[in-house]
Structure formats: C-alpha cells, structure tokens
C-alpha cells in the first residue's frame, strides 16, 4: 500500500468513526495504520500535504448542529503502546523539568466534550469535533443528569469531560434495539456518540448517558499551580470527576498504576481505552509546550489487545426478558485480561453466519483493557470436519411456543405470552397506567406473586384471592383491599386499554385507541384479516403481521379466554363526544407544560377528535410547546407550523 492509499484509508475510517459513528475497524487497528503513516511521512517530511490525516486532531463536524469554535483547543494525545515508550516520554520531560510529577488517570472510552459556565450557570456544551471546531449539543447535554446546570460557586469556567454510556445501560439499550428489530451498537463508545448527537434531545434523554470531567480548560480570575489541585477544585464545584486519578512522583510509580488499571482492579462500570499520564505542574506544562496536535506534557498509554485461542464446545440459546432469543457460546475456559472466560455472546444468527462460527470451531477471542471479550475470528485451518452448523430453534427453549423473525429484523423472538422468561415484564406492562391501570401492582409485588406461583399469566391476576394477597411482604389489610378493588375496577376499562395491555409488538397506547375505534369489539379485532389491519392509518404491514402472529399462538388465545371468563370488558366504551373541534388536526407536544402533563394534554386533544404525533412534519397542524422545548420547536419554525403556548391552547379548549 503506497502512502496516498494509506491516507485515503485513514480518511475513510476516520469519517466512519467520528461522523457516522459506525467504525469498521478497532481503535488499535486504526492506531497501527496511523503509526505506519507517520513512519512513512517521517522519511519525506517535505512532501506531507496539509490535509493529511496525520495533521488532524480528531473528526469532522456532522450536519445538523451549529458549529462552535473552542476557546481552548481540545487537543488529542500522543499514544504509547509499550512501557519503553513511556520511559522515553519520561526522559524527554525530565530533561526539561527534572522535578516533574505525574497524574495517572483512566482514559474513558466515550465522546469528549467541553462544558462552558458563565457566573456558575451552564451556558453551552460542544463536542470536540476536530479539536478547534465542534458541534453545539447543549440541549442534549442538559439531559445528562450528572452535568450540573448551576455550580456551587458563580465562576466563569470551561471544563473538558468524557460523555460515556455505562455498561449496564449499554446492554439494556442493545437488548431493546434487538427487540425493535434494529442492529445493536458495537460498543458503549459507539452508542454514547450516537446518542449524544441525536437531533432530538428526547432520544438522548432516554439513553441514560453519564459524564466524567478530567480537565480545566479555562477559568476567570483564578489560577492553579498543579493539575491535581484543579481537579479537586472542580470536584468541589459539583462536577462528576474522573474516578481514578493517582499522583505519582516517578514514571515507575505511574507504570505500576497503569498495570493496576489494566488488570481491572478498580472494577469500573464503564469501558476504558487506555490510561493517561499527565505532568502535574502547570509551570512545567507551559515550559514543555504543545505541538499543533497534542501537548508535550501528556501521553496516552493504549493497552495492547490480548488475543487467545479457545474452542467452542456448544452453543445454547437464552431467552431474554423481552422474548428475544440470543445464542451464546460455551467455550473451553481461557485466562485473558485478568479473568477466566468460558462464555461469550454470539448476538444473533446473522453474526454467527457472518463470522462462519460452528460448534467445535477453534476461535480467537480478544479483550483489551476492561472491554468485554468477543470472538474475533475462526481459525479455519484447525477444522477437522466434525464441526456442526448451528441453527436457531423453531420453538422457544423455555415455553415451547413458536418463535418468529419478522422480515428485515435481526431478532428472533418467542411468541408465547406466558413464557416464564418474559412473564414478569408482560405482567408489569399489563398493569401499567396506560394499559389496565391497576394501582398497587408494582414490580416488587409482581415478582412475589410469581415467586409464590400465585400467577402464571396476566389473566391469573383476576383470580387472586384477598387471603393470598394479604400474606405478601409489606402488604397489609388496607393495601390488599385496595389492590383487589383496583383489579375489579380495571375490568370496566375501555377496549383500547385492553388491546394495548395485551403487549402485541408495536401496538402502543395510541394504536390501541385506533384499533378499538375501528373494530369496536375484541372479537372483531381478533378475527380481522391482514388486509383490514394493514390498511389502517398508523398500523401498516409490519404491525399487522405482528397482530396476526399474536393471535395465532394458542397460549395467547387461552389467556384471552380466561380474561373473558373473569369479566374483563371487551367492547369500545369510550365513545367520542359531540365536540370534534380538533377533528383531522395533528398536534405535536414538546417541552414542559405548566398545567398539564403530556398525557393529560394528549387526552384532551384526542377527546376533541384530534391526533397527537411524536414528530414534526409538513402535515403537522400545531406544535404545543412549553419550557425547555427542544429541536421539535426549531423544526416547527423552519416548516412554519403554527405554534401554541399553553395560554393559546387553553383558549382553544374553552
């Protein structure tokens, strides 16, 4: 590969990583390509073009956000891949600053941002971008709960932090994406970047992002002598600070701390992609200076990816709480990255086919830093012919109900409504406010009922006895009586609530109302054809097929039969009133209203025959907005959609 091909390849992967949030190679592979380019350019320094990837600090700004010029550049760091390189860095530092000390910090695998405060109030947040110009993501950053909107002192300050997604959140998000038929994110960093750069801050808010602050960029009327002092001060202001920051007098001490981090001794709840070694003294930093790309007073140590071979002994299928069937590999135990690994997720059948994984294969697994082990490749040279092709089962391994894979989706899921693997989630949905609205049946009570085998389906709730309920933990006589009354009252609910409560995929509360108005009775709904269903607005062919599949499962029909026997209403009762002033009008709600919740405002609009949509388009008639309205308000202005404040809305519904 010549030098120009290498530059083009790096530009391609840089664009995928920073702009599209869809990397095709690992960070380590990218670093090795960059290192090769730097080596080739060093041989001909006079021929390096100004647009070479080696001249860039980071990525490019994406379309859709305003650009922000950073007051202090958000520089990248020089990478080190061996302890010898750290010792060489130490030698260069000590030649200039013999008494320099170091601070070692974990390098969070996330998205770097700057946070600006004026007189202690959060005014703007921006992504790193190319280090000089980033993207204004203030509204999205305001959804990150750990970012203080007001500091404990009225200071004017800019800090730098790393937005990340905790592993627990990452796993839950990927499970939900697979449930929705979407491709899972490759790693938490990829997920965090994609979440922070959503044009709709409402989506960002649902992703439960977090942040750790690690540097003071600038501050008005205050100075510090040491980096460690500035970290302590930012901690006092109320920032969530990088949790591992060790002051070391020598590089040997720093290397010991790096080894400790690499072994996972801190048990961090997020992924890291290395450790950072920084000179602590501010005067020392000024003396050492910076290049156009990176400071000379800091270096990032990248843990080399550890790879080992092991053998796949078997593949078993696990059923998640959402009914998704996930294949998992059972492997010969192998010690890697400080832990013994004997299992690895295979995600889905497409992943298995793409990597050509078979039972009995010898595979290469990888683990870098604290990142979860993954199967990198199959060593096909070690195949002996006895390997077996894995097939996803036709029936759920837990409840034996049929499984289905909707067209265009990666997830295979169980269709059984009473599947023990997903029963708790189904019941929690059934009793929720927008469904059957049974007060007093929270997750703790539901789990007790399941553990004591008092219920095995949603319909069993209506056959509970007061003497059984009163024996549950933290359930006194009054609470038991209230619960029994709530169950009885829920039988009178409108058909729309029952349809939503059934938990049919992609049939939400709004679709439940649409279907109830269209079919009037549960019996009519159950016997509807694919053509009838798919022709309804807001339903479409995918949801129509989900409905057909749901009623084709015997478990679900049996459960509905028991609901009927218990006396649950199956007819449309909430008829529209005579006042249809909002008929054929579409509303979008954004921001916080002073006198209504969004559900209450939606109910008012629908009671007058209107429709509430989740997104703004040219077909939107009104956008009702309140405090802290997000990007929907901006889009409405661009499309010249009529805007309503709460006072305007109140006049319309008088």
* Token pair for 650: 């109140």
Spatial distance between the Cα atoms of 516 and 500, rounded to a whole number of angstroms: 10
φ, ψ of residue 642 in degrees (nearest 5): -65, 130
User: CB–CB of 352/412 below 8 Å?
Assistant: no
* Token pair for 163: 């937005």
Q: 């003071």: which residue's tokens?
A: 216
107 tagged catalytic: yes
Please compute, for residue 127, the number of CA atoms within 13 A of its CA located in the half-sphere on the CB side.
31
Spatial distance between the Cα atoms of 50 and 489, rounded to a whole number of angstroms: 73
* CA nearest to 120, candidates 211, 196, 221: 221
Q: State how far the alpha carbon of 357 is from the alpha carbons of 18, 90, 284, 397, 509, in Å.
A: 30, 45, 53, 21, 41
What DSSP element (H or E) covers 10? helix 3-18
Q: State how far the alpha carbon of 264 is from the alpha carbons of 204, 269, 274, 318, 595, in Å.
A: 29, 11, 12, 27, 49
Q: 């199967």: which residue's tokens?
A: 375
Q: What is the 3-state secondary structure (H, E, C) of 352-407?
A: HHHHCCCECCEEEEEECCCCCCEEEEECHHHCCCCCECCCCCCECCCCCCEEECCC
The CA-to-CA distance between both ends of the chain, in Å, stands at: 73
Maximal C-alpha separation, the chain: 87
At 549 the three-state DSSP class reads helix
DSSP E strand stretches across 595-653? 611-613, 622-625, 642-644
* CA nearest to 195, candidates 137, 243, 149, 242: 137
* CA nearest to 78, candidates 90, 89, 92: 89
Spatial distance between the Cα atoms of 474 and 124, rounded to a whole number of angstroms: 47
Q: Which of 39, 55, 107, 240 is catalytic?
A: 107
Spatial distance between the Cα atoms of 265 and 370, rounded to a whole number of angstroms: 10
Q: Are strands 245-248 and 102-108 parallel, antiparallel or unpaired?
A: antiparallel
DSSP E strand stretches across 76-110? 78-80, 102-108
Spatial distance between the Cα atoms of 464 and 593, rounded to a whole number of angstroms: 40
**Residue 572: how many other CB atoms lie within 10 Å:** 19
Residues labelled as active-site residues: 107
């Amino acid at each position: 590969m010549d030098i120009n091909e290498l530059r083009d390849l790096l530009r391609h992967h840089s664009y995928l990583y920073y702009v599209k949030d869809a990397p095709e190679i690992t960070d380590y592979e990218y670093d090795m390509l960059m290192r090769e380019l730097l080596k080739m350019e060093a041989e001909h320094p006079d021929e390096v073009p100004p647009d070479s990837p080696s001249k860039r600090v980071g990525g490019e700004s994406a379309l859709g956000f305003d650009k922000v010029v950073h007051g202090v550049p958000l520089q990248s760091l020089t990478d080190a891949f061996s302890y010898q390189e750290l010792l060489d860095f130490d030698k260069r530092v000590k030649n200039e600053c013999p008494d320099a000390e170091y601070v070692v910090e974990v390098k969070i695998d996330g998205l770097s941002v700057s946070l600006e405060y004026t007189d202690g109030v959060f005014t703007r947040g921006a992504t790193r971008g190319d280090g000089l110009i980033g993207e204004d993501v203030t509204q999205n950053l305001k959804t990150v709960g750990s970012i203080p909107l007001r500091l404990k002192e009225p200071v004017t300050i800019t800090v730098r932090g790393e937005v990340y997604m905790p592993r627990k959140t990452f796993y839950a998000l990927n499970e939900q994406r697979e449930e929705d038929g979407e491709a899972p994110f490759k790693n938490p960093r990829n997920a965090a970047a994609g979440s922070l750069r959503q044009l709709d801050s409402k989506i960002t808010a649902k992703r439960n992002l977090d942040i750790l602050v690690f540097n003071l960029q600038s501050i008005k009327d205050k100075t510090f002598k040491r980096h460690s002092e500035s970290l302590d001060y930012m901690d006092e202001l109320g920032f969530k600070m990088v949790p591992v920051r060790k002051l070391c007098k020598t590089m040997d001490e720093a290397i010991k701390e790096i080894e400790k981090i690499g072994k996972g001794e801190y048990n961090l709840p997020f992924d890291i992609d290395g450790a950072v070694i920084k000179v602590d003294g501010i005067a020392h930093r000024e003396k050492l200076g910076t290049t156009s790309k990176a400071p000379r007073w800091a270096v990032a140590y990248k843990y080399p990816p550890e790879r080992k071979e092991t053998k796949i002994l078997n593949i078993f299928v696990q059923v998640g709480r959402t009914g998704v069937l996930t294949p998992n590999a059972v492997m010969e135990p192998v010690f890697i990255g400080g832990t013994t690994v004997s299992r690895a997720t295979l995600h889905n059948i497409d992943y298995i086919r793409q990597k050509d994984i078979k039972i009995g294969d010898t595979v290469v697994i990888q683990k870098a830093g604290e990142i979860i082990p993954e199967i990198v490749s199959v060593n096909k040279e070690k195949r002996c012919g006895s390997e077996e092709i894995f097939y996803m089962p036709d029936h759920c391994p837990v409840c034996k109900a049929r499984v289905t894979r909707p067209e265009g989706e990666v997830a295979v899921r169980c269709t059984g409504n009473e599947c023990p693997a997903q029963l708790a989630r189904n019941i929690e949905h059934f009793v929720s406010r927008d469904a059957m609205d049974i007060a007093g049946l929270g997750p703790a009570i539901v789990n007790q009922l399941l553990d004591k085998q008092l219920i095995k389906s949603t319909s069993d709730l209506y056959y509970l006895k007061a003497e059984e309920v009163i024996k549950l933990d933290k359930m006194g006589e009054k609470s038991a009586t209230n619960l029994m009354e709530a169950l009885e009252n829920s039988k009178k609910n409108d058909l729309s609530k029952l349809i939503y409560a059934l938990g049919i995929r992609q049939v939400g509360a709004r679709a439940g109302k649409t279907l109830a108005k269209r079919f009037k009775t549960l019996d009519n709904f159950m016997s509807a054809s694919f053509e009838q269903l798919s022709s309804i607005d807001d339903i479409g062919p995918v949801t129509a097929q989900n409905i057909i599949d749901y009623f084709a499962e015997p478990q679900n029909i049996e459960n509905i039969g028991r609901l009927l026997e218990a006396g649950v209403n199956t007819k449309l009762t909430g008829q529209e009133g005579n006042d249809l002033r909002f008929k054929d009008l579409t509303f979008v709600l954004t921001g916080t209203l002073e006198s209504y919740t969004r559900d209450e405002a939606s109910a008012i609009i629908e009671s007058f025959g209107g429709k509430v949509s989740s997104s703004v388009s040219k077909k939107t008639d009104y956008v009702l907005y309140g405090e802290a309205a997000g990007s929907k308000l901006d889009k409405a202005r661009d499309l010249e959609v009529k805007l309503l404040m709460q006072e305007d809305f109140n006049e319309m519904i008088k």
